Structure 1
Amino acid sequence: MNSSAHAASRMIADLVIPAIPDDERLWVPQAKGVWFRPLFFNTVSGEWVNLLRVRRSGVLSRHRHPAPVHGFVLKGEWRYLEHDWVAREGTYVFEPPGEVHTLVVDDDCAEMITLFHVCGALIYYTEQGEPAGHDDVHTKLDMCRRHFTATGLGEDYVDQFVR
């Protein structure tokens, strides 16, 4: 085997999948009226990419992240209580690390779907500013394993998203 063929044999496989699936079992419940669709997990760097789908209004989470987050709104809209902008369909959002912000979906939005690329963790906070839990690539993987097992897809179904 020549060196380029050997290098190619060690490369990580492409990942090409329908982002918005026909099979509802691929949406992992996160909270009442909130689901995520896993697209990519990197357990080495701690990043993940998913679609967040919300079919309810109100405060979803107050959180901070120690690394950047990128978002692209595919459907609907959302905002942060701490800012004066609204992320609408077609909007790209860059969230620098460090700030605590509160994600809200307003009453006039029936469904919101946003692609998020999270570099690191999300640390959740209470209204009083106290840490209240976190999500990272490993908690997301665990949520997927439990959900895919419960829906008959099997816990290994999530492995296709890990790179």
Structure 2
Amino acid sequence: MPAAPKPAFATTTSGNRLPIPSLPQGELLTLNVNEVPSVESTLGPGTSVQLLRLDPEAGRWVVMVTMAPGAEVPIHYHTGTAEVYTLRGTWIYKEYPDQPQTAGSYLFEPGGSVHTLTVPADSAEDTVMLVMVTGANVNFSEDGRFHSVIDAVSLQYLLGRFAQDQGVKLRYIGATGAGFVETE
């Protein structure tokens, strides 16, 4: 039987070992959103998505979303939590029109929440949001019928297809410990 691997230990910059085991890390898993390509019309007309992190096994995805004035994401139900930080512009949930999200707003959505995201048509600029989701968005048509599901697995497929069709090469942070993922 092979010997068990020795635990990795973090060290100080002078080489002294810290009393905790750690995962080996050869590089920081970091992306500059100014260098991450956008995939257009991923969530519908007037939207673009920059994929930052995707972990299909944990059902977690992190994207930067840009939406033009008048763009909308259909009514959807969250199976898990979502966190949205608005970097630029304004957006609302149609169900909460008196609570606009503006640059600097942080929104936490518990699992089970239902809403329709829209950027007002009279907005002066595109809206940019950092969106972190665990679980899935179950999407419905305007008449209340089931439309589709977006989760980490389907997002990986959809973004891969749209990126390929648009000639975009994706580079994002993959599942825990997997490092970067790059597409052709």
Q: Tell me the TM-score normalized by structure 2.
A: 0.75
1:161 aligned residue: 173
The one-letter code sitting in structure 2 at the alignment partner of 1:132 is: H
Kindly provide the CA deviation profile for residues 37-75 of structure 1, in whole angstroms up to 9, marking residues without a partner as x: 100011221010001111131533211111110000011
Q: Structure 1: where are the runs of 5+ without partners?
A: none
Report if aligned partners of 2:65, 2:131 keep a CA contact under 8 Å in 1: yes
Distance in 1 between residues matched to 2:27 and 2:139, nearest whole Å: 33
Shift in Å, 1:126: 1.6
Q: Structure 2: where are the runs of 5+ without partners?
A: 10-20, 176-184
Matched ranges for 1:97-116 at <5 A: 97-109=111-123, 110-116=125-131
Equivalent of residue 89 in structure 1, options 103, 118, 125: 103
2:179 aligned residue: none
Distance in 1 between residues matched to 2:72 and 2:141, nearest whole Å: 12
Q: Secondary structure at the match of 2:8?
A: helix
Equivalent of residue 51 in structure 2, options 29, 34, 38: 38
- 1:132 equivalent to 2:136? Answer no
Higher gyration radius (CA): 2
Shift in Å, 1:7: 5.5
- 1:150 equivalent to 2:154? Answer no
Shift in Å, 1:148: 3.2
Higher helix share: 1
Report if aligned partners of 1:60, 1:105 keep a CA contact under 8 Å in 2: no
Shift in Å, 1:153: 4.7
Percent of pairs with identical residues:
23
Size of the aligned set, in residue pairs, is: 156
